[in-house]
Amino acid sequence: MKVLWEGVMPAVTTKFKADDSLDLDAFAININAQLEAGVNGIILGGTLGEASTLSDAEKKLLIQETVRLVRDRVPVIINIAEQTTKGAILAAKNAQTYGASGLMMLPPMRYKANDFETMTYFKEVAHSTDLPIMVYNNPIDYNIEVTLDMFEELLKNENIQAVKESTRDISNVTRIKNRFGNRLKILCGVDTLALESILMGADGWVAGLVDAFPAETVAIYELAKAGRIKEAIDIYRWFLPLLELDINPQLVQNIKLAEVATGIGTERVRAPRLPLQGAERERVLGIIHEGLRTRPVLSDYKSLRKESI
């Protein structure tokens, strides 16, 4: 399925049973809630998906199950976060075999590659697959920045098509648009900068709190793109305390707690992660409960997309 690299794409969480196996029933509940809300794609195996704890067999199962659930309504994208070029090429090959429509790629893990090594890594994976690629640019968390000069070289590969923009520099959206126009699609990767990025021209939003609040997330995007800025801002201001749960070392636990509160997820995480405890748990639950208490009534945001077609 063709990936347009636009709209809201949830970085979904992975659901586990009490015995630590995959909980595909709970996973399906969340995926169906995302589809009902009108998301534009599903991203598997990111940080929120606890990818570093998943086996290759589990990744295969998640891709295949998601492809089955979405039934060609939206593309399924798998994150690649590998330590070696060989491993990344194999992951890309497997993703295509299992039915994924696209890739989200981090720079090499653990090793702090220099610019030339980083570009070579991305280019060799791009040459190995027909799948379109979104580069995940997050220098704050992963210590490697993909600069605009590096993108100039990377974009010689036609299947490198998008960036998950997580530099935390809102001006970077404008810099990218000024330099590359529509050749490099921009998806904001930081929940707390999403509306700002969309208003500055970002094409989409790789979202986290969407896992618990899919309708509100998509509504913000659709309203902003339709020019109904005040309505988008009103929802966004309500949402911000919840969105800040995504920029936290325990973002997986935070968002899974929110999924429980909205009835579309479970709290179980895979060790070494553990559920939140004590005062921090109470703090996060307080934010979630206040968000639910003041949850806005949404307009018919889905009709906005139909009007723009």
Please state the domain extents for the chain: 7-308
Model pTM score: 0.96
Identify the pLDDT of residue 305.
80
One-letter amino acid for residue 146 of the chain: V
Angstrom distance (rounded) from CA 34 to CA 23: 17
Helix (H, G, I), strand (E, B) or coil at 248: coil
Backbone angle region of 20, left / alpha / beta, with phi > 0 → left and psi within -120 to 50 → alpha: left
Identify the pLDDT of residue 194.
98
Reduced to 3 DSSP states, what percent helix, strand and coil does the chain have, rounded to the nearest 5? Answer: 50, 10, 35
Identify the pLDDT of residue 307.
63
Please, what's the largest Cα pairwise distance for the chain?
51
Identify the pLDDT of residue 80.
96
Give the DSSP letter string of 124-188: HHHHH-SS-EEEEE-HHHHS----HHHHHHHTTSTTEEEEEE-SS-THHHHHHHHHHTTSSEEEE
Beta strand 42-44 with 7-10 is unpaired
Identify the pLDDT of residue 309.
47
Nearest to 141 by CA among 166, 170, 114: 166
Spatial CB neighbours of 282, under 8 Å, sequence gap ≥ 6: none
Identify the pLDDT of residue 52.
92
Identify the pLDDT of residue 110.
86
Identify the pLDDT of residue 250.
96
As assigned by CATH, the class of the 7-308 domain is alpha beta
Per-position pLDDT tens, the chain of length 309: 899 999 999 999 999 999 999 999 999 999 999 999 999 999 999 999 999 999 999 999 999 999 999 999 999 999 999 999 999 999 999 999 999 999 999 999 988 999 999 999 999 999 999 999 999 999 998 999 999 999 999 999 999 999 999 999 999 999 999 999 999 999 999 999 999 999 999 999 999 999 999 999 999 999 999 999 999 999 999 999 999 999 999 999 999 999 999 999 999 999 999 999 999 999 999 999 999 999 999 999 999 986 654
